[in-house]
């Protein structure tokens, strides 16, 4: 699965489990660490944890082995590293505070909130 297909898979999985304000940022020209960052908000720390757990399960079900997951204890900001795609699952307050979209200063592809 290439990075574009992985991005689409992750976005669809996040939409299926009601992730909010999904943003995709192509950082391939800015870092060698990853090609894409996906930032998504949850409505509560429990929701953020559930988003991360369900994303990891969906990936494993498709044969995609996450390289790591950090932050699940506090669930304010959980990072799921899928190699070519890094997913930031955040509480709205953490997302506003860290403002990763502005930090990476790039054109971001916004996805509508999952209904």
pLDDT mean over 91-108 = 82
| Alpha carbon distance 69, 56 (integer Å) | 9
- Cβ-contact 12, 19 below 8 angstroms: no
Q: Using 50, 70 and 90 to split pLDDT, how confident is the model at 28?
A: confident
Mean pLDDT score across all residues of the chain: 88
Residue 105 has a pLDDT of 66
| Alpha carbon distance 39, 90 (integer Å) | 7
Residue 109 has a pLDDT of 53
Burial of 6 (0-12, 13-18, 19+ CB in 10 A): buried
Q: Using 50, 70 and 90 to split pLDDT, how confident is the model at 72?
A: confident
Domains of the chain as residue ranges with CATH: 3-110 (3.30.460.10)
Residue 43 has a pLDDT of 94
Closest CA to 19 of 89, 109, 97, 102: 89
Has residue 110 got a pLDDT over 60? no
pLDDT mean over 30-45 = 92
| Alpha carbon distance 18, 15 (integer Å) | 5
Q: Using 50, 70 and 90 to split pLDDT, how confident is the model at 59?
A: very high
How many C-beta atoms lie closer than 10 Å to residue 59's C-beta? 20
């Amino acid at each position: 699965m290439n990075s574009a297909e992985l991005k689409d898979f992750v976005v669809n999985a996040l939409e299926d489990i009601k992730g909010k304000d999904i943003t995709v940022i192509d950082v391939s020209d800015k870092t060698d660490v990853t090609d894409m960052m996906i930032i998504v908000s949850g409505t509560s720390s429990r929701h953020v944890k559930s988003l991360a757990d369900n994303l990891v399960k969906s990936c494993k079900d498709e044969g995609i082995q996450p390289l790591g997951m950090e932050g699940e204890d506090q669930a304010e900001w959980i990072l799921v590293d899928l190699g070519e795609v890094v997913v930031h699952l955040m509480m709205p307050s953490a997302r506003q505070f860290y403002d990763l979209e502005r930090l990476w200063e790039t054109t971001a592809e916004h996805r509508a909130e999952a209904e």
